[in-house]
Amino acid sequence: MAAGVAAWLPFARAAAIGWMPVANLPMPVAPTNKNKRQDELIILNVSGRRFQTWRNTLDRYPDTLLGSSEKEFFFNEETREYFFDRDPDSFRSILNFYRTGKLHYPRYECISAYDEELAFFGIIPEIISDCCYEEYKDRKRENTERLMDDLEDNKDNKPPNMTFRETMWRAFENPHTSTMALVFYYVTGFFIAISVITNVVETVPCGTTPNQRDIPCGERYTEAFFCMDTACVMIFTVEYLMRLFAAPSRYRFMRSVMSIIDVVAILPYYIGLVMTNNEDVSGAFVTLRVFRVFRIFKFSRHSQGLRILGYTLKSCASELGFLLFSLTMAIIIFATVMFYAEKGSSSSKFTSIPASFWYTIVTMTTLGYGDMVPKTIAGKIFGSICSLSGVLVIALPVPVIVSNFSRIYHQNQRADKRRAQKVQKARLARMRISKAGSSTAFLHSKRNGLNQSLELTQLPYYKMKLSPQGSLEEDQQLKKTTSLLESQHHHLLHCLEKTTNHEFVDERLYEQGYLQTALQNFPSQSPSLSSEEGVTGTCCSRRTKKNIQALNATHTHSHTHNLQELSALHIHCGEQQPLNTSRSSLNLMSDESGSLNCKSSGLVTTAIISIPTPPSNNSRANPDAPPPPNPDAPPRPNPGSDVVKISAL
């Protein structure tokens, strides 16, 4: 229940009088205010600054330090005030939380100090209200990142127990880890540069030979260049093989872009080695040499900027595609127009539409080589329109690409926001849980038998709910003192139940009720009893709640009969219980249907063992005991075994 509206609880309870004429059943007794005292002011002395508030204000949140009896530990007898040796400035926001129901995070406050204060006073940070929650989360994230960065800088020594392979991979990926890695890094960089320069210089004309022909250096100093090439390819091959060996996932490494570049860089050499003798394919061989230029891309391992550029282009693919598409459209249109315009003129260079493409491209990009010019007037007019529109068409997609680049530059910040969204979802989930917590709190207190002795009339059906002996002690341990507010709220909900003659159950029981009504088709042991009770459905979980004292006697011996023989629902539970205490307490209530044990209903299989003859004659004879022997789950479902049987009678 939102404690902010705690003040309206008396109103809600008074309004419950409106249900009375409609109700068919008597109402439960209201919880009384045992120590009924006037609302008093209490003084909270926080490091000398005195705050005063009503006691009721603090009681609104009974699961915090100030709202519970924990504050009595800080009570100072002489001065009759509660003394806390904490920061008075932070305490302001904490006290405001009690007053207004909203927790705010002051901006000037240090995030870790604030967190400590919240932890001390038992307030969870998730309830910070929306106005301050963004700020809080941002500051918290920055703080943790900064702390983590500091940690990472400190750990220079490599973690122990790294295999040789892992060390190698780490050296390859992060050259700063060791000197060997750094040396390797620079050596490969040097050789990439050498290889690229070699390829370039190979084609430079290198002085004349006696037969008056300029030949490129590559053909003049063939052996030298061949040796250089071989050396570089050796180095690259060794590097590639070493990386392949060290990679944690070889398949993934082979698929990565960098390794493909490596392969493409060294392949031409080997293919060239194989093919030197065959003159026919020398043309293809020459083409292959072009691929040697890909070695320059190996530099991207060395340069972060190149990688970002590559990534930008990759992610701007759609914008680039749009640019290309619009350009193509314009080119085709103008080329067609120019072709038909220039068709008439003699000796026109515009021999076909594809030939006009070249003119259009050169004009639209404002290059204007001048190798093709229109001669007719119509051609000139359309030519000028073409060049004007070229400027526009090219200028439009470019800002898109530029903005994409800046988007990628901020991409790491967006990744953080995505993380924050997950956190937001987690927060909403937590708030939903706490809201659901108020509803489950009622169901929990019901099952714990806290509603005993709250019955107004003494009908036999509503006798004291005694749990079977085995779990009585656990029950008593579990009964924590609920605040008066909570008990009054639960009383209100209980009245509603009595008014409508239906009970609140949680989702699982509800679904189970569905399942078991479906199983009604099996020959029921005591059809008459169900009509006796006047309860719809023959769900035995309903009956298990009414545990009668008389049943305890027959409990043990009918137990063995029924458990094995009756048709049962086996519910295979998943793993054990979450921290939610209400659920764990349900474990120990034997009269509960065992499915409540399951956090996530695993496998639900109906296992029909047998339909026995009714062993229930003895208890049927008992006039005031309602239903039949209830085959409930065994008294203490051992946490290990995950199969819980619920029988459907």
Site residues for other proteins per CB under 8 A = 1-2, 4-27, 29-30, 32-33, 38-39, 54, 56, 99-100, 435-436, 438-439, 456-457, 489, 492-493, 496-497, 499-500, 502-507, 509-510, 513-514, 517, 535-537, 539, 541-542
In whole angstroms, the minimum distance from the beta carbon of 66 to other proteins comes to 17
Q: Which is nearer to other proteins, 294 or 442 (CB)?
A: 442
**Rounded to whole angstroms, how far apart are CA atoms 585 and 450?**
13
Q: Which is nearer to other proteins, 1 or 372 (CB)?
A: 1
* Inter-residue contact 248 to 169 (CB < 8 Å): yes
Q: State both tokens at 253.
A: 């490494």
Instruction: Transcribe 36-72 into DSSP letters.
Output: -----EEEEEETTEEEEEEHHHHHT-TTSTTTSGGGG
The SS3 of residue 208 is strand
Residue 366 contacts by C-beta under 8 Å, 6 or more apart in sequence? 387, 390, 391
Q: Which is nearer to other proteins, 117 or 486 (CB)?
A: 486
In whole angstroms, the minimum distance from the beta carbon of 534 to other proteins comes to 10
* Inter-residue contact 571 to 595 (CB < 8 Å): yes
DSSP state of 128: B
How many residues in total does the chain contain? Answer: 649
C-alpha 600, offset from chain centre: 19
Q: Which neighbouring-strand residues pair with 46?
A: 49, 84
In whole angstroms, the minimum distance from the beta carbon of 1 to other proteins comes to 6
Q: Which is nearer to other proteins, 263 or 454 (CB)?
A: 454
- Helices 397-409 and 304-315: crossing angle in degrees, nearest 10, is 130
- CA-based radius of gyration for the chain: 41
For 328-364, b/e burial (b = at least 16 CB within 10 A) is: eebbeebbebbbebbeeeeebebeeeeebbbbbbbbb
Q: Which is nearer to other proteins, 179 or 457 (CB)?
A: 457
Q: Which is nearer to other proteins, 122 or 437 (CB)?
A: 437
Q: Which neighbouring-strand residues pair with 458?
A: none
Q: Which is nearer to other proteins, 56 or 411 (CB)?
A: 56
Q: Which is nearer to other proteins, 379 or 627 (CB)?
A: 627
In whole angstroms, the minimum distance from the beta carbon of 493 to other proteins comes to 7
Q: State both tokens at 505.
A: 């159950």
In whole angstroms, the minimum distance from the beta carbon of 18 to other proteins comes to 5
Q: Which is nearer to other proteins, 495 or 633 (CB)?
A: 495
C-alpha 629, offset from chain centre: 47
In whole angstroms, the minimum distance from the beta carbon of 488 to other proteins comes to 8
In whole angstroms, the minimum distance from the beta carbon of 535 to other proteins comes to 6
In whole angstroms, the minimum distance from the beta carbon of 456 to other proteins comes to 7
Neighbours of 429 (CB within 10 A): 11
The SS3 of residue 93 is helix
Q: Which is nearer to other proteins, 148 or 433 (CB)?
A: 433
Residue with tokens 């229940």: 1
In whole angstroms, the minimum distance from the beta carbon of 593 to other proteins comes to 11
Residue 40 contacts by C-beta under 8 Å, 6 or more apart in sequence? 54, 55
In whole angstroms, the minimum distance from the beta carbon of 510 to other proteins comes to 4
In whole angstroms, the minimum distance from the beta carbon of 599 to other proteins comes to 17
In whole angstroms, the minimum distance from the beta carbon of 434 to other proteins comes to 10
Task: Tell me which residue of 127, 63, 122 sits closest to 486, measured CA to CA.
Answer: 63
Q: Which is nearer to other proteins, 54 or 184 (CB)?
A: 54
In whole angstroms, the minimum distance from the beta carbon of 389 to other proteins comes to 19
Task: Tell me which residue of 649, 469, 453, 615 sits closest to 542, measured CA to CA.
Answer: 649
Long-range contacts of 296-301 (CB under 8 A, 24+ apart): 296/192, 296/196, 297/261, 297/265, 298/188, 298/192, 298/236, 298/258, 298/261, 298/262, 298/265, 299/189, 299/192, 300/258, 300/261, 301/258
Q: Which is nearer to other proteins, 375 or 508 (CB)?
A: 508
Residue with tokens 């991409």: 411
* Inter-residue contact 574 to 451 (CB < 8 Å): no
Q: Which is nearer to other proteins, 21 or 305 (CB)?
A: 21
